[in-house]
Amino acid sequence: MTIPAIAANGLRKSYGDKVVLDGIDLTVAAGTVFSLLGPNGAGKTTAVKILSTLVTADAGELWVGGHDPAANPQAVRAAIGVTGQFSAVDGLITGEENMWLMADLNHLSRRDGRRTAAELLERFDLTDAAKKPASTYSGGMKRRLDIAMTLVGDPRIIFLDEPTTGLDPRSRHNMWGIIRELVSDGVTVFLTTQYLDEADELADRIAVLDDGKIAAEGTAEELKRLVPGGHVRLRFTDPAAYRAAVAALREVTPDEESLSLQIPSGGSQRELRAILDRLHAAAIEADELTVHTPDLDDVFFALTGGTGIPDQPKETAR
Ligand SMILES: Nc1ncnc2c1ncn2[C@@H]1O[C@H](COP(=O)(O)OP(=O)(O)OP(=O)(O)O)[C@@H](O)[C@H]1O
């Protein structure tokens, strides 16, 4: 068995009376993306802070990059990079100067530091902005600079704490490309996010954090199999047709206001035909029929009672 890049066993942390992490177990294989998914305040940042040695745990066995963060924080720090809500970017100096500072902190020679900085600025499309103060950068540019600064130390494990929160769709997709590139270089990524589509898109494994506990853990596909979220949705413009359909079909969840109804379904041809046959037999014509397969939204709502996840565009209809 290979040694995991990150492991936690029974991780606990409270602030006063508030239990933030209530016995968390997780394992992250080297070279994979692990996503800790949860709503605001779920404890994601606290978990990152503990694993990256910024905060000490109350209890639990931890293992990061071959070391125990509590016993050997320096060794853990040498193996990891952290970017996110507590960004290291200094807005008063230029992007390039931020990179040079990082090179100094990593004890690179002046020559190596300048070369590495130039290469990373180029890689993250920041060469043109390199001589401008970082305070003038857009949100996406700041995040890219933050990651570039982290990579100066060539970490094998990177913690990305909500790397795309607040970014526009284009910058989000850029960031996803950067994360994929890191993984293709063999880096292990520990990603926290409140976005289900982000976890679905990037993560090899996902843990859903809710109320200080891991509510479920697995691949996106495994998590989706946990919930019977699949359904067919029919929409009508004619109220009479809508009412006739509600009467004609079985297991219907009607929504009077939108003149639509849902029928649980795995979306197979046979199931669809059964629905269409019934509509046909009753001479009812729906104005719209969509098939929805379960997605991480369904998983999340089933597991957590639907607290606090922001609205996201649903792209599951076909
Ligand atoms: N230093 C602290 N002192 C007291 N309470 C804290 C401290 N840090 C975090 N908390 C509390 O712990 C809980 C979890 O916070 P944390 O920042 O880990 O959540 P999160 O999942 O990262 O959420 P967000 O998406 O808002 O960053 C919150 O209720 C927060 O108020």
Question: In the predicted model, what is the mean pLDDT of the chain?
Answer: 88
Give the residue from 162, 290, 291, 303 showing the smallest Cα distance to 224. 303
Q: What is the pLDDT of residue 137?
A: 93
Q: What is the pLDDT of residue 302?
A: 76
Atom of ligand 1 lying closest to residue 47 CA: 18
Query: Each residue of 106-135: pLDDT tens digit?
Result: 899 999 999 999 999 998 899 999 999 999
Same domain, 119 and 160: yes
Closest-CA residue, ligand 1 atom 25, reads 40
Q: Which residue has the higher pLDDT, 86 or 255?
A: 255
Q: Is the pLDDT reported for residue 63 higher than 80?
A: yes
Same domain, 27 and 70: yes
Number of domains present in the structure of the chain: 2
Domain assignment of residue 317, yes or no: no
Q: Is the pLDDT reported for residue 313 higher than 70?
A: no
Same domain, 141 and 198: yes
Ligand 1 pocket mutation pick from 11, 12, 15 by most atoms within 8 angstroms of CB: 15
Same domain, 96 and 237: no
Range with the poorest average pLDDT among 44-53, 103-112, 287-296: 287-296
Domain assignment of residue 148, yes or no: yes
Ligand 1 pocket mutation pick from 35, 36, 45 by most atoms within 8 angstroms of CB: 45
Closest-CA residue, ligand 1 atom 28, reads 41
Average the pLDDT over 136-140 and give the result: 89
Same domain, 166 and 84: yes
Domain assignment of residue 300, yes or no: no
Q: Is the pLDDT reported for residue 316 higher than 60?
A: no
Same domain, 129 and 256: no
Same domain, 205 and 66: yes
Same domain, 133 and 87: yes
Q: Which residue has the higher pLDDT, 307 or 8?
A: 8
Residue where one domain finishes, among candidates 205, 224, 243: 224
Same domain, 155 and 266: no
Query: Each residue of 74-112: pLDDT tens digit?
Result: 999 999 999 876 578 898 999 999 999 999 998 999 999
Average the pLDDT over 257-268 and give the result: 87
Atom of ligand 1 lying closest to residue 49 CA: 18
Strand pairing partners for 216? 208
**CA of residue 297 to ligand 1 center, whole Å:** 23
Average the pLDDT over 38-64 and give the result: 92
Atom of ligand 1 lying closest to residue 16 CA: 4
Q: What is the pLDDT of residue 60?
A: 95
Cβ(15) to ligand 1 under 6 A? yes
Domain assignment of residue 312, yes or no: no
Q: Is the pLDDT reported for residue 312 higher than 50?
A: no
What is the span of the domain harbouring residue 161? 6-224
Same domain, 134 and 238: no
Percent of the chain with pLDDT over 90: 62
Q: What is the pLDDT of residue 86?
A: 58
Burial state string for 189-216 with b = 16 or more CB within 10 A and e = fewer than 16? bbbbbbbbbbbbbbbebbbbbbbbebbb
Closest-CA residue, ligand 1 atom 1, reads 15
Q: Is the pLDDT reported for residue 201 higher than 50?
A: yes
In angstroms, how far is the first alpha carbon of the chain from the final one?
A: 42
Domain assignment of residue 309, yes or no: no
Domain assignment of residue 122, yes or no: yes
Average the pLDDT over 144-164 and give the result: 91
Contact of 304 with 215, CB cutoff 8 Å: yes
Q: What is the pLDDT of residue 71?
A: 93
CATH number at residue 121: 3.40.50.300
Residue where one domain finishes, among candidates 170, 191, 224: 224
Q: Among all chains, which residue has been given the structure tokens 């982290």?
A: 150
Give the pLDDT band of residue 307 (cuts 50, 70, 90): very low
Give the residue from 41, 118, 30 showing the smallest Cα distance to 309. 41
Query: Each residue of 207-250: pLDDT tens digit?
Result: 999 889 999 999 988 887 777 667 899 999 999 999 999 999 98
Percent of the chain with pLDDT over 70: 94
**CA of residue 8 to ligand 1 center, whole Å:** 19
Same domain, 37 and 110: yes
Residue where one domain finishes, among candidates 206, 224, 242: 224
Domain assignment of residue 314, yes or no: no
Range with the poorest average pLDDT among 24-38, 58-72, 211-225: 211-225
Average the pLDDT over 252-277 and give the result: 89
Q: What is the DSSP string of the chain?
A: -PPPSEEEEEEEEEETTEEEEEEEEEEE-TT-EEEEE--TTSSHHHHHHHHTTSS--SEEEEEETTB-TTT-HHHHHHHEEEESTT----TTSBHHHHHHHHHHHTT--HHHHHHHHHHHHHHTT-TTTTTSBGGGS-HHHHHHHHHHHHHTT--SEEEEESTTTT--HHHHHHHHHHHHHHHHTT-EEEEEES-HHHHHHH-SEEEEEETTEEEEEE-HHHHHHTS---EEEEE-SSHHHHHHHHHHSSS-EEETTTTEEEEE----HHHHHHHHHHHHHTT---SEEEEE---HHHHHHHHH-S-SPPP-------
CATH number at residue 262: 3.30.70
Interface pTM, i.e. ipTM: 0.93
Q: How far apart are CA 39 and CA 28, in angstroms?
A: 21
Same domain, 18 and 89: yes
Cβ(38) to ligand 1 under 6 A? yes
Domain assignment of residue 133, yes or no: yes
Cβ(4) to ligand 1 under 6 A? no
